[in-house]
Amino acid sequence: MNQKLFVGNLSYSSSEDELRELFSQAGTVSSAQIINDKFSGRSKGFGFIEMSTPEEAQKAVEMFNGHDLGGRKLTVNEAQPLQPRPPKREFQR
C-alpha cells in the first residue's frame, strides 16, 4: 500500500493540525495537507495524509474510513495519481 492517503468529506473548518493529530493515532504522520481553492482560499473539503510506513497507512485507513470528524464521515483511502484530463474548452460567444 502507498503511504499517501486521500481524506475526503472534510468539514470546511478542518485544519491540517487537526488532521495530523487525528492520524497520529495510527502512527507517524509525515505530512498533512488540506487542498484549498486557489481563488477563494477556502478548503475544497479534501486533503492528503502521508504516513511513514505502508503498515501505518493501512492502519489509518482501517481506523478512520467512516470516522466522524466535525459532524461528517471521512472517506479515507489510498491516494491515486492524478489522471490526465483533456484540455478545457474556452468559452466562445
For residue 93, being part of any structural domain is answered with no
Q: Is residue 48 part of a domain?
A: yes
- The total domain count for the chain is 1
Grid coordinates of 66: 467512516
- At 76, the amino acid letter reads V
* Residue 85 banded pLDDT, cuts 50, 70, 90: confident
Q: Cα–Cα–Cα angle for 32, 18, 60, nearest 5°?
A: 60
Q: What is the CATH number of the domain that holds 51?
A: 3.30.70.330
Spatial CB neighbours of 11, under 8 Å, sequence gap ≥ 6: 45, 69, 70, 71, 72
| Domain with 11 in it | 4-78
pLDDT class of 89 with cuts at 50, 70, 90: confident
Residue 92 forms part of a structural domain: no
Helices (H) and strands (E) in the chain, counts: 2, 6
Asked whether residue 70 is assigned to any structural domain, the reply reads yes
- pLDDT class of 44 with cuts at 50, 70, 90: very high
Strand partners, 4: 50
Contact 62, 77 (CB under 8 A): no
Q: Please check whether residue 84 lies inside any domain of the structure.
A: no
